[in-house]
């Protein structure tokens, strides 16, 4: 069993840059047969890139990868699969309309002698595979009918059917119920006994303590620590992950908060239709005052985004309970348009999906929320429009050639500023921000923090949802921590630090570690 | 060639004034009068003439055959060249087709209109420009055209009825009828004529159903018809495809030997009624002539021979039975 | 992660000689944006050069012929303008041909059978088109049924209504003052020369086009239309009243289809339930040739107008040459494919 001489996977000196930004810097990583190796690190630490290299998704890198002692260089994921490396992605690549068995054999269907698909054998083999995973699932059920956890297990069965020697699991439990997590762990023990090497990416310290043998911590593209999980403490791991001193650029302001703009008491939403992967508010209380930046923290799936969307009137349809007081009056979220009119603005999570029309001009994107306000008799006066665009882009220091350029040509940070500017033009009193610095480089990040500070200075209340601990602790005055759709703690960042936030995020029952967004999104 | 159906196509000359009463097209107050603004120049045998043929659609085999007949007939007139346009059942497209012909300054227009009213104006425009217009099969409103050539559906229906009364059911009997598209003029006329033909005899039409001119509709309708009235002796369909469909239905029920089938159209093409009669599926069909050859003949009279033509030329039908089916087919395709 | 990567790459990319490069990019962009205009010019030139001649005169350039070209495509053009709006929000309207038929029947029946005046008839028929579009828009936008499905159903319904209303047959329009006759004013549409040159249907099309162009360039509503087509989710979160805009857009399309139907009835002196069969595809073709993306968010009425004219000139050119009707279909199909293919080549951001 102990195969230290010739590890199953050996990655040596791996480096990879994206246009000047180093994602991986001289990383070494070994995985032995029958071992679960946890990979830890904050958003952007380089975990994904490293695993993409191992699974053949990223091909131009420096360093060497060996599988079973033999150096390999994969040209495509299919190469890696052939060599026995399988990756289970966070977003599952299953076809909902096909059955479990069909999904598992997708692209390499078993045939009869007449070259037709051999359903009987396919289902038989699948049943065997599922049994090996300890799951009782009918192979003939469409995958779309399965719960997320079951789907997760199907992908594992699929990996098994490929005779995978190395299995990469990226946050496999983030969407699972406790029972399903247990089931998953049984499968993992089974695999380990069969000699499969597993790379396990997770942020739940309790899980890692239970099933991992070793852990490697990445930060800013480098290995910063390696642990034997038997003598690893959650504090030590967290420190290694967060590492850097809290940057001074965060807290430059000291505003006296003014009157309350938002007070939410016991907010809960019963959706008309259950949507998978969503954690609707289930008892949230918080308050935001003018000039104050309040953070919303919590694990992935704790309901941060859903809270903002519900407040803004852009969440799931359903029955709201609890009370929302906005500017001192009861507020019923009815839709983005009404919210904007009332003075509440939202910078959504993914600017490409929910924020911008990339092929339209900077100008069109910037004024979108106010075109009908600046219009006279339905027509938009050019001068008034370009005036507004020039003013706000200058104010936000958006780097652009001309306001007629397509917004998709701007860098990520500047795109984000356009969304930001659009919302500021509506002159809000409350600004909801969801992961405003995701995918934004460090320089732009600092600028956005500064803009946030300025907005607060002008008396705007800010509610900032983020998965970055440093951001929450550094930028916010207070942080409300969510867990399972409830607000479980409120921290004053003048006294509490990132470690406290971590601890609070773990909560009681579902002990877990860092707040982490989908790095692979 | 142009004389290939000399027997069938005896032209019943009718003057412009003598409008046949039985010709039940839509109410039209056709003014009296020959010529109108028209003053067609006749170039004689030395000229070269371009004829524009505007067809309503070529999806129907009957209309495709009409085009083919015109093409074949025109080949024997060295002075003629014919251009074809297909309106694809769209009135507006047919208007444009005619406009294009006018732009090209054709010497004569043959048109088989998709519908009467929408094309009346553009036909009149051509006629008033001095271009001779031959209207085929369907009429246009008014009298702003040179001549109309077509068959008399009432007469065809009557012939069919008389054939049934005298030959198939001399002692009376029961008949099923599959009609053309409800509301269409030919369906009405073919039905009315047939009833005239069997009048006074002990023959009963036990049921009439709509077959929409379509073979598959004829088949499904006949299916139901035979079930409801197993005592039917003769099936009269308003066209050959529906008659063939009914034959298939009877065959499926195993009763095709007890029945006689009559259709109309008698197209001299492999899938047409002549072959069906020759091969014994239909007892008889009535030729509904396309008028293609006659139209070219008329054009020749107008442009080359400098003769006058009557305002209406009604084409005679011909009864086709097993006795003459092969002969007529061969003549038509020789 | 991917977004992060690309943006970082974009940020790190060394800037090329900016001015020159940018001008070129803008030029190329304009070329694609107005491809149908260039295509129209090209087809027009070909039509002139290869025009059939008669006594030395280029028949294609004959005033009557040019009038025919614009008259013949004015109905498609009017519908295509409405279709442009729908396609800009990422929708489609398959019902316009059937609505044209319904409107043509309505015009004929109201004037001939019910003795309505011209104004009343036009108002009622346009209202019917508007309401039909409204229902389709509601079904599509409010209940989230795909526009393709809704308007496919709408097409059948409009066709059925037209058949029922007309009794299954074309209703001929005769002019005069008596009962059963339409007011002579209406025949203006059919008498295809306005001041001796310009056909009235073409005049109506021109007015519709100009209004639409101005409206789409300057109105706040148009911004919402483009924004929805560009990124519906973003538009909604930005406070664009998505449902309302979509419904209005379908109303516009239905309204213009009805207008085209009135023109149709006037041109042919008849309202037939089979009128406009397949016209929706010609209208979509004009929009596609005009460079409007079927995904929505990109395109213009200028392009659509040029696209419709291009089809008209092409039809006329092929017709004048007596090209086999079946071959004509092939040529038109190829033009559509080429136009759509060119849009694929268009540099995206």
Which secondary structure element, helix H or strand E, spans residue C341, and what is its range?
helix C325-345
Does any CB of chain C come closer than 8 Å to the CB of residue B88?
Answer: yes
Is residue A301 predicted with pLDDT exceeding 90? no
Task: Kindly determine whether residue A380 and residue C5, on different chains, have CB atoms separated by under 8 Å.
Answer: no
* Domain range annotation of chain C: 32-49+63-345
In angstroms, what separates the C-alpha of C248 from chain B's closest C-alpha?
Answer: 30
Is residue B72 predicted with pLDDT exceeding 90? yes
Beta-carbon contacts of C250 under 8 Å, excluding residues fewer than 6 positions away, are C86, C91, C93, C133, C134, C136, C137, C140, C141, C147
- Which residues of chain A have a CB within 8 Å of the CB of C17? none
Helix (H, G, I), strand (E, B) or coil at A199: strand
Is residue B5 predicted with pLDDT exceeding 60? no
In angstroms, what separates the C-alpha of B311 from chain C's closest C-alpha?
Answer: 24
Give mean pLDDT, residues A233-247. 65
Q: For chain B, which chains pass the contact test of at least 3 CB pairs under 8 Å?
A: C
Measured between alpha carbons, how far is C147 from C149 in angstroms, rounded to an integer?
5
Q: How many CA atoms lie within 13 A of A272 on its CB side?
A: 4
- Which residues of chain C have a CB within 8 Å of the CB of A369? 238-240
Measured between alpha carbons, how far is B98 from B94 in angstroms, rounded to an integer?
6
Query: What pLDDT sits at residue B45?
Result: 85
Does any CB of chain C come closer than 8 Å to the CB of residue B85?
Answer: yes
- Which residues of chain A have a CB within 8 Å of the CB of C221? 378
Is residue A300 predicted with pLDDT exceeding 90? no
Fold of B153-287: Rossmann fold (3.40.50)
- Could you give the strand order of the β-sheet that contains A21-31, starting from the edge strand earlier in sequence? A21-31, A9-18, A62-67, A70-72
pLDDT in tens, A459-494: 999 999 988 777 888 889 999 999 888 999 999 888
pTM for the model stands at 0.78
Choice among A4-13, A339-348, A415-424 with the minimum mean pLDDT: A4-13
In angstroms, what separates the C-alpha of C33 from chain B's closest C-alpha?
Answer: 30
Give mean pLDDT, residues B243-268. 94
Nearest CB partner across the interface for B104, out of C59, C72, C75? C59
Nearest CB partner across the interface for A401, out of C7, C22, C218? C22
Regions in chain C scoring below 70 on pLDDT: 1-22, 191-196, 346-349
pLDDT in tens, A189-200: 888 888 899 999
Determine the residue among C2, C5, C220, C248 to mutate to test chain A binding: the one whose Cβ has the most chain A Cβ atoms within 10 Å: C220
Q: Write the CA distances from A47 to A43, A54, A220, A221, A401, integer angstroms.
A: 9, 11, 10, 8, 35
Does any CB of chain B come closer than 8 Å to the CB of residue C72?
Answer: yes
- Which residues of chain C have a CB within 8 Å of the CB of A358? 230-231, 349
Lookup: tokens for A482: 């969510």
Quick one: DSSP state of residue C140? I
Choice among B43-52, B298-307, C17-26, C125-134 with the minimum mean pLDDT: C17-26
Domains located in chain A, CATH noted: 9-242 (3.40.50.300), 247-343+429-521 (3.40.50.300), 351-427 (no CATH)
Of A52, A67, A50, A72, nearest to A7 (Cα)?
A: A67
Would you tell me how many other CB atoms lie within 10 Å of the CB of residue C255?
24
Determine the residue among A356, A359, A376 to mutate to test chain C binding: the one whose Cβ has the most chain C Cβ atoms within 10 Å: A359
Indicate left, alpha or beta for C167 from its phi (over 0: left) and psi (-120 to 50: alpha): left
Q: For chain C, which chains pass the contact test of at least 3 CB pairs under 8 Å?
A: A, B
Nearest CB partner across the interface for C223, out of A350, A354, A368? A368
In angstroms, what separates the C-alpha of C48 from chain B's closest C-alpha?
Answer: 14
- Which residues of chain C have a CB within 8 Å of the CB of B96? 68, 72, 315-316, 319
Sort A248 into a burial class: Cβ within 10 Å, 0-12 / 13-18 / 19+.
Answer: exposed
Task: Kindly determine whether residue C227 and residue A364, on different chains, have CB atoms separated by under 8 Å.
Answer: yes
Nearest CB partner across the interface for B121, out of C54, C269, C322? C269
In angstroms, what separates the C-alpha of B202 from chain C's closest C-alpha?
Answer: 35
Does any CB of chain B come closer than 8 Å to the CB of residue C178?
Answer: no
In angstroms, what separates the C-alpha of C43 from chain A's closest C-alpha?
Answer: 30
Q: State which residue of chain B sits closest to C191, comparing Cα positions.
A: B121
Measured between alpha carbons, how far is C239 from A75 in angstroms, rounded to an integer?
45
Query: What pLDDT sits at residue A174?
Result: 66
Lookup: tokens for A97: 């309309």
Choice among A212-216, A224-228, A501-505, B126-130 with the minimum mean pLDDT: A501-505
Nearest CB partner across the interface for A360, out of C18, C230, C237? C230
Split at pLDDT 50, 70, 90, the class of A442 is: low
Residue pointed to by tokens 């009315």: B192
B12-152+290-317 placed in CATH 3.40.50.2300: yes
Nearest CB partner across the interface for C277, out of B90, B99, B182? B90
Query: What pLDDT sits at residue A429?
Result: 96
* CA dihedral sign, ordered A261, A267, A273, A276: positive
Task: Kindly determine whether residue C240 and residue A348, on different chains, have CB atoms separated by under 8 Å.
Answer: no
Residue scoring higher pLDDT (A109 or A200): A200
Does any CB of chain C come closer than 8 Å to the CB of residue B95?
Answer: yes
Lookup: tokens for B263: 């259709």
Count of all residues that appear for chain B in the document: 334
Is residue B24 predicted with pLDDT exceeding 50? no
Of B218, A355, B300, A499, nearest to C234 (Cα)?
A: A355
CB pairs under 8 A between B and C: 80
- State percent of chain B over pLDDT 70: 88
Helix (H, G, I), strand (E, B) or coil at B69: helix
Would you tell me how many other CB atoms lie within 10 Å of the CB of residue B72?
17
Query: What pLDDT sits at residue B60?
Result: 81
Can you point out the beta strands (E) in chain B?
Answer: 12-14, 49-55, 80-86, 108-112, 133-136, 147-151, 173-179, 203-210, 234-237, 260-265, 284-287, 312-315, 319-320
Determine the residue among C239, C252, C292, C298 to mutate to test chain A binding: the one whose Cβ has the most chain A Cβ atoms within 10 Å: C239
Query: What pLDDT sits at residue B11?
Result: 42
Task: Kindly determine whether residue A354 and residue C223, on different chains, have CB atoms separated by under 8 Å.
Answer: no
Is residue B248 predicted with pLDDT exceeding 90? yes
Would you tell me how many other CB atoms lie within 10 Å of the CB of residue A327?
16
Nearest CB partner across the interface for C52, out of B91, B99, B104? B104
| Partner C, chain B 147-186, Cβ-Cβ below 8 Å | 182-183
- Which residues of chain C have a CB within 8 Å of the CB of B104? 52, 54, 59, 320, 322
- Which residues of chain A have a CB within 8 Å of the CB of C223? 364, 367-368, 371, 380
Measured between alpha carbons, how far is A349 from A151 in angstroms, rounded to an integer?
26
Query: What pLDDT sits at residue A81?
Result: 85
Query: Where exactly does CATH 3.40.50.2300 map onto chain B?
Result: 12-152+290-317, 153-287
Quick one: DSSP state of residue B76? T
Residue scoring higher pLDDT (A503 or A484): A484
Query: What pLDDT sits at residue A210?
Result: 85
DSSP string for residues in A27-40? EEEEE-TT-EEEEE
Query: What pLDDT sits at residue C21?
Result: 65
Does any CB of chain B come closer than 8 Å to the CB of residue C169?
Answer: yes
Does any CB of chain C come closer than 8 Å to the CB of residue B306?
Answer: no
ipTM for the assembly? 0.83
| Partner B, chain C 213-272, Cβ-Cβ below 8 Å | 264, 267-270, 272
Split at pLDDT 50, 70, 90, the class of B12 is: very low
Give the burial string for A447-471 (b: 16+ CB within 10 Å, else e). Answer: bbbbbbbebbeebbbbbbbbbbbbb
In angstroms, what separates the C-alpha of C131 from chain A's closest C-alpha?
Answer: 23
Please state the φ and ψ torsions of residue B68, each to the nearest 5 degrees.
-60, -40
Does any CB of chain C come closer than 8 Å to the CB of residue B220?
Answer: no
Split at pLDDT 50, 70, 90, the class of B1 is: very low
Query: What pLDDT sits at residue A518?
Result: 35
In angstroms, what separates the C-alpha of C138 from chain B's closest C-alpha?
Answer: 32
User: What is the Rg, in whole angstroms, of the alpha carbon atoms belonging to chain C?
Assistant: 22
Query: What pLDDT sits at residue A43?
Result: 63
Q: State which residue of chain C sits closest to B90, comparing Cα positions.
A: C275
Query: What pLDDT sits at residue A114?
Result: 82
Give mean pLDDT, residues A128-135. 79
Helix (H, G, I), strand (E, B) or coil at B13: strand
In angstroms, what separates the C-alpha of C293 from chain A's closest C-alpha?
Answer: 12
CATH number of C32-49+63-345: 1.10.3470
Nearest CB partner across the interface for A353, out of C4, C5, C233? C233
Does any CB of chain C come closer than 8 Å to the CB of residue B206?
Answer: no
Query: What pLDDT sits at residue A253?
Result: 54
Task: Kindly determine whether residue C64 and residue B96, on different chains, have CB atoms separated by under 8 Å.
Answer: no
Q: Which of A343-352, A468-477, B235-244 shows the highest mean pLDDT?
A: B235-244
Give mean pLDDT, residues B205-233. 93
């Amino acid at each position: 069993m102990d195969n230290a001489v010739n590890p199953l996977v050996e990655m040596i000196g791996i480096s990879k840059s994206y246009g000047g930004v180093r994602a991986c810097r001289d990383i070494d990583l070994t995985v032995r047969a029958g071992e679960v190796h946890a990979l830890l690190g904050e958003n952007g630490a380089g975990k994904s890139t490293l695993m993409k290299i191992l699974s053949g998704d990223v091909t131009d890198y420096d360093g060497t990868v060996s599988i079973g002692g033999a150096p390999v260089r994969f040209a495509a994921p299919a190469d890696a699969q052939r060599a026995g490396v399988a990756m289970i992605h966070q977003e599952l690549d299953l076809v909902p309309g096909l059955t479990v068995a069909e999904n598992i054999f997708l692209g390499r269907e078993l045939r009869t002698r007449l070259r037709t698909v051999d359903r009987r054998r396919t289902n038989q083999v699948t049943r065997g595979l599922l049994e090996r995973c300890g799951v009782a699932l009918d192979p003939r059920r469409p995958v779309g009918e399965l719960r997320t956890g079951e789907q997760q297990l199907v992908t594992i069965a699929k990996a098994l059917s490929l005779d995978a020697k190395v299995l990469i699991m990226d946050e496999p439990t983030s969407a699972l119920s406790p029972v399903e997590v247990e089931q998953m762990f049984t499968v993992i023990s089974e695999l380990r006994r069969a000699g499969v090497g597993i790379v396990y990416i997770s942020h739940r310290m309790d899980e890692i303590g239970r099933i991992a043998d070793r852990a490697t911590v990445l930060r800013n593209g480098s290995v910063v620590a390696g642990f034997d999980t038997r003598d690893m403490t959650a504090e030590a791991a967290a420190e290694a992950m967060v590492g850097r001193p809290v940057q001074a650029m965060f807290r430059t302001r000291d505003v006296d908060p003014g009157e309350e703009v938002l007070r939410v008491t016991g907010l809960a939403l019963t959706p008309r239709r259950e949507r998978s992967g969503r954690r609707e508010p289930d008892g949230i209380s918080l308050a935001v005052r003018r000039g104050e930046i309040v953070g919303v923290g919590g694990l992935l799936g704790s309901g941060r985004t859903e809270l903002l969307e519900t407040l803004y009137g852009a969440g799931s349809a359903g029955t709201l309970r609890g009370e929302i007081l906005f500017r001192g009056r009861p507020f019923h979220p009815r839709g983005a348009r009404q919210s904007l009119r009332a003075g509440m603005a939202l910078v959504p999570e993914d600017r490409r999906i929910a924020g911008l029309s990339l092929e339209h001009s900077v100008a069109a994107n910037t004024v979108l929320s106010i075109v009908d306000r600046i219009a006279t008799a339905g027509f938009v006066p050019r001068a008034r429009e370009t005036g507004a665009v020039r003013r706000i882009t200058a104010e936000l220091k958006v780097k652009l050639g001309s306001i007629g350029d397509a917004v998709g040509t701007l860098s990520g940070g500047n795109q984000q500023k356009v969304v930001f500017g659009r919302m500021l033009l509506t002159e809000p009193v409350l600004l909801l921000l969801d992961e405003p610095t995701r995918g934004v480089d460090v320089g732009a990040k600092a600028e956005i923090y500064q803009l946030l500070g300025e907005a607060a200075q002008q008396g705007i209340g800010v509610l900032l949802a983020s998965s970055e601990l440093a951001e929450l602790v550094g930028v916010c005055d207070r942080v409300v921590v969510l867990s399972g759709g409830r607000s479980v703690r409120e921290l004053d960042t003048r006294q509490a630090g990132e470690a406290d936030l971590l601890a609070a995020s773990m909560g009681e029952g579902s002990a877990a570690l860092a707040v982490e967004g989908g790095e692979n999104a | 060639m142009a004389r290939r159906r000399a027997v069938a196509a005896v032209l019943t000359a009718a003057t412009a004034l003598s409008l046949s009463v039985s010709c039940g097209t839509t109410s039209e107050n056709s003014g009296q009068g020959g010529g109108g603004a028209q003053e067609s120049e006749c170039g004689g045998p030395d000229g070269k003439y371009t004829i524009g043929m505007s067809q309503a659609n070529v999806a129907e085999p009957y209309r495709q055959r009409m085009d083919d007949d015109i093409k074949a007939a025109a080949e024997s007139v060295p002075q003629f060249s014919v251009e074809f346009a297909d309106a694809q059942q769209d009135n507006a497209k047919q208007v444009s087709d005619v406009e294009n012909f006018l732009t090209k300054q054709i010497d004569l227009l043959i048109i088989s209109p998709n519908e009467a009213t929408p094309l009346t104006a553009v036909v009149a425009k051509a006629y008033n420009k001095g271009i001779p217009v031959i209207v085929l099969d369907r009429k246009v409103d008014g009298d702003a055209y040179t001549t109309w050539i077509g068959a008399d559906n009432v007469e065809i229906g009557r012939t069919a009825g008389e054939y049934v009364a005298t030959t198939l059911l001399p002692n009376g009997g029961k008949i099923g009828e599959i009609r053309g598209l409800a509301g269409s003029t030919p369906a009405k006329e073919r039905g009315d004529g047939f009833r005239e033909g069997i009048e006074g005899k002990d023959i009963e039409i036990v049921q009439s159903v709509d077959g929409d001119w379509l073979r598959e509709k004829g088949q499904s309708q006949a299916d139901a018809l035979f079930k409801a009235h197993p005592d039917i002796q003769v099936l009269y369909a308003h066209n050959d495809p529906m008659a063939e469909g009914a034959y298939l239905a009877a065959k499926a029920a195993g009763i095709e030997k007890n029945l006689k089938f009559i259709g109309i159209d008698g197209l001299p093409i492999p899938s047409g009624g002549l072959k069906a009669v020759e091969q014994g599926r239909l007892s008889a069909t009535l030729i509904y002539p396309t008028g293609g050859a006659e139209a070219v003949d008329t054009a020749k009279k107008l442009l080359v021979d400098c003769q006058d033509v009557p305002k209406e030329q009604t084409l005679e039908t011909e009864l086709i039975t097993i006795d003459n089916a092969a002969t007529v087919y061969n003549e038509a395709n020789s | 992660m991917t977004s992060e990567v690309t943006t970082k790459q974009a940020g790190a990319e060394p800037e090329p000689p900016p001015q020159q490069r940018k001008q070129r990019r803008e030029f190329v962009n304009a070329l694609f944006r107005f491809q149908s205009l260039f295509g129209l010019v090209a087809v027009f030139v070909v039509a002139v050069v290869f025009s059939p001649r008669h006594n030395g005169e280029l028949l294609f350039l004959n005033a009557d012929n040019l009038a025919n070209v614009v008259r013949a495509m004015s109905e498609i053009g009017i519908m295509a303008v409405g279709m442009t709006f729908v396609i800009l929000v990422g929708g489609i309207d398959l019902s316009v041909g059937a609505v044209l038929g319904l409107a043509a029947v309505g015009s004929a029946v109201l004037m001939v059978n019910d003795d309505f005046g011209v104004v009343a008839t036009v108002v009622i028929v346009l209202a019917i088109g508007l309401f039909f579009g409204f229902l389709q828009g509601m079904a599509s936008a409010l209940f989230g049924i795909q526009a393709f499905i809704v308007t496919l159903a709408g097409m059948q319904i409009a066709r059925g209504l037209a058949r029922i209303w007309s009794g299954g047959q074309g209703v001929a329009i005769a002019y005069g003052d008596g009962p059963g006759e339409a007011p002579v004013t209406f025949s203006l549409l059919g008498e295809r020369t306005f001041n001796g040159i310009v056909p009235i249907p073409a005049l109506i099309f021109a007015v519709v086009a100009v209004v639409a162009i101005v409206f789409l360039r300057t109105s706040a509503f148009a911004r919402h239309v483009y924004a929805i087509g560009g990124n519906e989710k973003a538009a909604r979160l930005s406070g664009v009243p998505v449902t309302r805009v979509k419904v209005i857009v379908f109303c516009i399309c239905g309204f213009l289809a009805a207008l085209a139907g009135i023109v149709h009835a006037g041109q042919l002196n008849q309202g037939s339930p089979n009128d406009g069969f397949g016209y929706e595809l010609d209208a979509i073709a004009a929009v596609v040739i005009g460079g409007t993306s079927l995904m929505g968010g990109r395109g213009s009425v200028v392009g659509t107008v040029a696209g419709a004219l291009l089809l008209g000139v092409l039809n006329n050119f092929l017709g004048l040459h007596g090209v086999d009707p079946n071959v004509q279909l092939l040529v038109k199909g190829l033009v559509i494919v080429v136009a759509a293919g060119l849009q694929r080549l268009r540099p995206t951001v």
